[in-house]
Structure 1
Amino acid sequence: MALITFVRRRPWWLAGAAAILALAVAAVVLVAVRPGGQDTPGEGSADVGFARDMAIHHQQAVELSFIVRDRTDDEDVRRLAYDVINTQANQRGMLLGWLEAWDMPKSSQKPPMSWMDHGHGSMSMPMYEAHDGSLMPGMATNTQLDQLRKADGKAAEVLYLRLLTTHHKGGVEMSQAAADMAGDAKVRRLAEGMVQGQESEMKLMADMLAERGATP
């Protein structure tokens, strides 16, 4: 009987501890849902603009890499293409996931890169004019994509390396702007990682072009 009385009469501090624990769990969930644990970025923010534009930019790099895998047997080029496909497809999924978590549409009627500060390099001053399927700086045109689809062997390798180098240059400039302007810490970290990773790949591609007697 004494034991039953003890179980029914929980100490007052135990209920308080349970409440504190519940609040802590709720805070952890909130941080997990909102990248960086900050207020949700809104329409017009660098975070949202970067996520939308870089998702599109990455999609084309993945497409270029899938094309070249079928146009050459060179192991070095195919390995690079495989790395680009995996890295940029994963990053693209993260960017789209953030837009979903922020309850933001994945597309906009505004021109690409309208979120960028006009002090961030030539790509934003003047505003880039889309042409022949190239929506942003660095993106290949539809004509260039068709040329890659028709090329074989060394010609395909050189064209891919040149197109991807130009693509990375545009991506680096956009990522640097996001690293400087985004309000969410996780967005800034991802953007900084993109700058470092793509600059490293550009150096690798310069060496690969030189091995093939070509220039960027």
Structure 2
Amino acid sequence: MADAVVPDPADEIGADRAHSETSTGMRVLVVSVAVLAVLLLGAAGGLLIGLPGGHGVPASNSVDVGFAQDMSVHHRQAVQMAGWARDHSTDQAIRQIAFDIETSQLGQVGRMEGWLGLWDKPELPASGKYMKWMTGAEAAAHGHGATNPNDPGVDTMPGMYTQQEWQRLRSLSGRALDVMFLQLMLRHHQGGAQMMEYAAKYATNPQVKNLAQSMLLSQGKETETLRNLLTARGGQPLPMN
């Protein structure tokens, strides 16, 4: 009778490792496909409602165009932070809110960039400055935006992280990573609210106005959740930059 074949433990370990790596790869692929689908759907929605009700193409210096340009940039930084936390945090609550922020803001970016494409406007302000579309005393009260036609705007929008902060976030793990992510994202949400409030009030395109109002509502709820998660983990909010 032939001798029984005894499995080599090394082969079993290798098979387990290969299975684990395959599973991880599949999870990353599924999330990536889902995120791409959200972005494409958002862009399609933006194109479909780009010129609603015969409102025509807004001027380059309008609130509608400026908000779409600047908020897309602002959102993409939040998406970058959220994607990092989703992939590197071990806290399920952090991973969940990071995923929610990433997918919702990617969809909104798709809509805004869809509008800009239909309006034949660049995705970034031509001057390289931000918030020039926010004018008058209301904008000045926030310490940002243009207060007169000759104002050059600002180099950095409120709530944005610095490269040093981004590098530090990427160097952390565990509770330290979770706390810093919550701090940065909370400040980011609070900073973006200034632009949303202004666009909700002064945009002339109904869809731009509605999107700004919707952002205010959803991010207001997320801001409260972020604050509660931060407090539960012993962290303190950052001052606005």
TM-score by length of 2: 0.71
Gaps of 5+ in 2: 1-47
- Listed as ranges, the matches of 1:8-19 within 5 Å are none
Deviation per CA, 1:88-145: give whole Å up to 9, x if none: 0000010000001111121223210000023134142677743xxxx21110000000
> Of the candidates 172, 177, 198, which is equivalent to residue 151 of structure 1?
172
- SS of aligned partner of 1:210: helix
Q: Could you tell me which amino acid in structure 1 is paired with residue 142 of structure 2?
A: S
The match for 1:186 is: 207
How far residue 40 of structure 1 moved from its aligned partner, in angstroms, is 1.5
Q: Could you tell me which amino acid in structure 2 is paired with residue 142 of structure 1?
A: Q
Q: Distance in 2 between matches of 1:183 and 1:67?
A: 36
> Of the candidates 51, 74, 95, which is equivalent to residue 34 of structure 1?
51
The match for 1:3 is: none
Q: Distance in 2 between matches of 1:57 and 1:36?
A: 28
The match for 2:112 is: 95
Q: Could you tell me which amino acid in structure 2 is paired with residue 176 of structure 1?
A: E
Q: Could you tell me which amino acid in structure 2 is paired with residue 206 of structure 1?
A: R
Q: Structure 1 129/106 Cα, relative in aligned 2: closer, same or farther at 3 Å?
A: closer
Q: Could you tell me which amino acid in structure 2 is paired with residue 199 of structure 1?
A: G
Deviates more, 1:136-145 or 1:121-130: 121-130
Q: Structure 1 57/153 Cα, relative in aligned 2: closer, same or farther at 3 Å?
A: same
Report the number of matched residues: 182
The match for 2:194 is: 173
- Listed as ranges, the matches of 1:90-129 within 5 Å are 90-110=107-127, 111-118=129-136, 119-120=138-139, 121-124=141-144, 129=154
How far residue 199 of structure 1 moved from its aligned partner, in angstroms, is 1.2
How far residue 202 of structure 1 moved from its aligned partner, in angstroms, is 0.9
> Of the candidates 64, 70, 73, which is equivalent to residue 56 of structure 1?
73
The match for 2:160 is: 139
Q: Distance in 1 between matches of 2:96 and 2:85?
A: 11
Larger Rg belongs to: 1
Deviation per CA, 1:158-180: give whole Å up to 9, x if none: 10000001100111111111111
Q: Distance in 2 between matches of 1:36 and 1:146?
A: 45
Q: Distance in 1 between matches of 2:133 and 2:98?
A: 30
How far residue 155 of structure 1 moved from its aligned partner, in angstroms, is 0.5
Q: Structure 1 202/33 Cα, relative in aligned 2: closer, same or farther at 3 Å?
A: closer
CA RMSD of the aligned region, Å? 1.7
- SS of aligned partner of 1:140: coil
The match for 1:15 is: none
Q: Structure 1 123/192 Cα, relative in aligned 2: closer, same or farther at 3 Å?
A: farther
TM-score by length of 1: 0.79
Q: Structure 1 33/194 Cα, relative in aligned 2: closer, same or farther at 3 Å?
A: closer
Q: Distance in 1 between matches of 2:67 and 2:83?
A: 24
**Contact (CA 8 Å) 2:189, 2:219: kept in 1 or not?**
yes
- SS of aligned partner of 1:87: helix
Q: Distance in 2 between matches of 1:178 and 1:184?
A: 10
> Of the candidates 206, 225, 228, which is equivalent to residue 207 of structure 1?
228
**Contact (CA 8 Å) 1:73, 1:153: kept in 2 or not?**
yes
Q: Among all aligned residue pairs of Structure 1 and Structure 2, give the percentage whose two residues are the same amino acid.
A: 36
